[in-house]
Structure formats: structure tokens, C-alpha cells
Amino acid sequence: MTDAETMLLLARWQFGFTIGFHIIFPALSIGLASYLAVVEGLWLKTGRRVYLNLYRYWVKIFALSFGMGVVSGIVMSYQFGTNWSRFSEATGSVLGPLLGYEVLTAFFLEASFLAIMLFGWDRVGRGLHFASTCIVAIGTLISAFWILAANSWMQTPAGYELTDGIFTATSWLEVIFNPSFPYRLAHMVMAAYLATALVVVGAASWQLLRGRVNEETRVMMRMGIPFLAIVSVLQLIAGHAHGENVLEYQPAKLAAMEGHWEPQRRAPVILFAIPDEEAETNRHVIAIPEIGSLVVAGDMDAELPGLRQWQREDRPPMTPVFFGFRVMVGLGVLMILLGLAGSVLLLRGTLERSRLFQRACVAMTPAGFIAILAGWITAEVGRQPWTVYGLMRTAESTSPVTADGVGMSLTVYVFTYLIVFAAGAYYMLRIAAQGPDTGEPEPTTPALAAWVDLHPGAPREGIR
């Protein structure tokens, strides 16, 4: 490999590594901010202490998540320049204002009102505190709006003019609301909500498994499970619509996702295979014949693309895209099943007693994040070899820096992130495991817990 090729590879690893770590935290922050706003709203409306306890419990985890999102996000905002300066130069006049608006409309808003959320309890009134929580929640969504508009424009560029290698906008509405943007925004925001719901339900289940049956865990389960059931199904619909959009605008990505080498009508749905990129074929295939075109395009006779339609230098690598897609969809299906099973238990009134289900919830706690990462691999590796789809190659986007420099900084980032984010994950898990402060004596044995479960309204002072 030449130095430029090594540099490109290391720069891509650096971007993938840093954004992979980063995306976890904003996803959790988006979900938790909205959850906290709902919980605080319920507290103000009902005056029930359980909602305040839940707020105080989750806001600690939110603060950690937000802090880690901020520091890992600053890395991203400078990496466009350090490793991808030719890309920055070419796209600055289109993407720059979008990112600028993210800072002006979201980052300042979140940072300022976060302060009131975390430290303002004694300094502002309840109404203003609630308003701050809502503003932070809205801020996280505004942030998602802009960054996904920028990402979507790179995937499906529109409203631009390309002169001498520099992109300029001809229509800002077309730039922002480019063809893949609405689908990506809906898909990503729901992914963040789902990942958070799984965390909430997982934490509540952990408490239940430890015999800590209280109003707080009960509320977490009863809010989380129906939410999971509904949103996971909506996510399936949004994901499918996004897939149709990929078929239309990024057919090579779709071919890699589906594992198709040849274009075909009545294509199979490939459940599993080992793609062989050299021989341009799949090995160990498990597939359902005939129905692929129907599933993807809604028409048995629709022709699905095959990767061999493109020159090798214009193709994404199939293996990561193919497996990333399957991991994401597989986890999505598990989420739907978890939501359904939980809803059935909820209707039967046995949600707090089914230990098997609670164990499944604990096991699924990280599933949302894994699905998000798998989805990002599908979307971003599937977009290769382009940074601006079909217009600017990844290899033409790099900075005039050496492979040594990129490799060195990558090494430093890996060490830094491992120390910092391992510690952060540890503190989050520890807080989550402690459970919410219930503000009343805790039942000390499973038998007492069961008794409390059956007598939710009974006073608890005497049951120790």
C-alpha cells in the first residue's frame, strides 16, 4: 500500500471508531431527554413522588451520557478538517451552514438549559425547571435534525451545483430536505427512543430480579413495555420505507444489503450467506426463494440490483454491509417480540412476576445500541466508495497528512476512549444497578417483595 492508501484506511478507521463511540451517547441522550420531560410533566400533573424519584434516578445517567456525548462530539467537529480537509473544502459551502445551524439552534440551547436541569432545582421554580427539561429534549431533536440533514445530503445529494470541485447550494430546501432525509431522521430518532426504552426496561427488570419491587420499577416497566411494542413496529415500517428509498437512490448499497451479485426479478430473500468478494458469489446460502422483490419493492416482478452491475471501484464492500444489515434487522425483530411478549404479560397482570421475561429484558438492554451501530455500518460502509454519493470519492476527500500522523492520533484516541468510556459505562451501570431512591423503606426479602406486589397501596413501615 502507498502512504496515501494507508492514510485513507487509517482515517476511515479513525472516523468509524470515534463516531461509533460518539453515536451511543447522543442516542441515549435523545431518548432520555424526552423520557425525563415526560416523567417530570407527569410529576407536575399528578404530584406523585414516584415520578420525581424516576427523574432524579435517570437524570444522573442522562448527565453522564450527555457529558460523554459532548466531549466525543467536539472530536467529530474537528476531524472533518484534520483528516478530511479536501472534503471540507469541497462541501463547506453546502454542509457548513447546516452544521453551523446545529451549533446555533441546538448546542447552546442544550448546554445552557442542561445547567438548570442538573443544578437548578433550588434556584428556579418547578415550572421553569420543567421548561428547561423540555427545551433540552427539543434541543436534542433539533441537533438530530441538522446532523442527519448533513449526513443525508452526503448520501443523496440534491439542490447543489458542482463547479471546479466545489459544491454550492442552488436550493437550500432541497439540500436540507434531500431525498433520504425524512426517512433517515424518522429511523434514527426512533432508534434512539427504542434504545433508551430498552435501557429503561432493562434497568427496571434488573431491579425486579433483585426483589426490589416498588412503584418506581413498576412505572418504568408499564411505561416502557407498551412504548417498546408500538415504536418497534413503527420502526419496522420506517425501516422498510427507508429501504425503498435506498433502492431508488443508492441501488449498489441495496445490492450489498440484500447480498445480491446479479440483478434479478423474483429475487430470493437471503437470510444468511458468506459473501465471497473475490469470486463475486455467496457461499453457505440460506434463502427464501422468490419473495425478495416483493419484500423490498412490493412487487414480485420488480428487478433488484446486483453488485456486479457496478465496476469494482464503484462498489461498496458487501460483507460488512450484508452482516450489519442482518444484525440490525435481527435485533429489530427481537425488539418487536419483546414488546409483544411484554404487552401480553402486562395485560395478564403478570409483568412483575415473570422472571424469564425480566431476564430477557436485561439481556436486551444493549440491543438498541448494537442495532444502531449495525445500522450505521450498513448505511456508511454501504455508501462507499463515496463521501458525496456518486460525486466525490472517499479517496479524494482526505487531508494532506501522513499515514504516521493519522495512525498515531488513532492510537491516542483508542486509548483515551477506552479509559474514559469504560469508566463512564462503569459509573452508568453502577447508578443504574443502585436503582431509584424510592423514598420509603425497601422490602428486604423476596417474600416481602411479593407481598408488597400484591398490596400496592398498603403502608410499608411495618413490613421489615
Partner 1 sequence: MESALPYIWAGLLVLAVFMYVLLDGFDLGLGILFPFAPEDEDRDVMMNSVAPVWDGNETWLVLGGGGLFAAFPKAYAALMPAVYMPIGFMLVGLIFRGVAFEFRFKARGAMRRFWDQAFHWGSVLAAFAQGLVLGTLVQGIALEDGRYAGGMFDWLTPFSFFTGWALVWGYALLGTGWMIIKMEDELAAWARQAGLLAAAVVVTCIVVVSAWVPMLDVAASARWGIDWPSIDWERLMPLVPIPIAVAVTAWVLFSALRRPHWTHMPFIASVVLFLLGYLGLIVTFYPFIIPYSLTITDAAAAPNAQALLLAGAVILLPVILGYTAYVYWVFRGKATSIAGYH
Sign of CA dihedral 444, 446, 451, 454: positive
Residues 194 and 258: their CA atoms lie apart, in Å, by 24
Q: Is 85 a residue that touches partner 1 (CB under 8 A)?
A: yes
Site string for partner 1, 385-414 (x = CB under 8 A): --------------xxxx-xx---x--xx-
In the complex, the smallest distance separating the C-beta of residue 103 from partner 1, rounded to whole angstroms, is: 5
Q: Is 433 a residue that touches partner 1 (CB under 8 A)?
A: no
Q: Is 20 a residue that touches partner 1 (CB under 8 A)?
A: no
Q: How many residues bind partner 1 (CB under 8 A)?
A: 73
Positions 108 through 147 that interact with partner 1 (CB under 8 A): 108-109, 111-116, 118-124
In the complex, the smallest distance separating the C-beta of residue 434 from partner 1, rounded to whole angstroms, is: 11
Residues 157 and 357: their CA atoms lie apart, in Å, by 45
Positions 61 through 80 that interact with partner 1 (CB under 8 A): 63-64, 67-68, 70-75, 77-78, 80
Q: Is the Cβ of residue 170 or residue 445 nearer to partner 1 in the bound state? A: 170
Residue closest to 150 by CA, chosen among 87, 242, 239: 87
Q: Is 15 a residue that touches partner 1 (CB under 8 A)?
A: no
Residue closest to 168 by CA, chosen among 177, 159, 176: 159
Name beta bridge partners: 171: none
Q: Is 193 a residue that touches partner 1 (CB under 8 A)?
A: no
The HSE-up count of residue 278 (CA atoms within 13 Å, CB side) is 0
In the complex, the smallest distance separating the C-beta of residue 395 from partner 1, rounded to whole angstroms, is: 16
In the complex, the smallest distance separating the C-beta of residue 190 from partner 1, rounded to whole angstroms, is: 27
Q: Are 80 and 116 in contact (CB under 8 A)?
A: no
Q: Is 6 a residue that touches partner 1 (CB under 8 A)?
A: no
Say whether 398 sits in a helix, a strand or coil.
Answer: coil
Pick one of 272, 274, 427, 441: the residue that binds partner 1 (CB under 8 A).
427
| Angle value at C-alpha 448, between 447 and 451, nearest 5 degrees | 90
Q: Is 298 a residue that touches partner 1 (CB under 8 A)?
A: no
Query: Could you tell me the CA-to-CA distances from 115 to 57, 109, 110 in Å, in that order?
Result: 17, 10, 9
Residues 464 and 458: their CA atoms lie apart, in Å, by 13
Pick one of 10, 59, 147, 191: the residue that binds partner 1 (CB under 8 A).
59
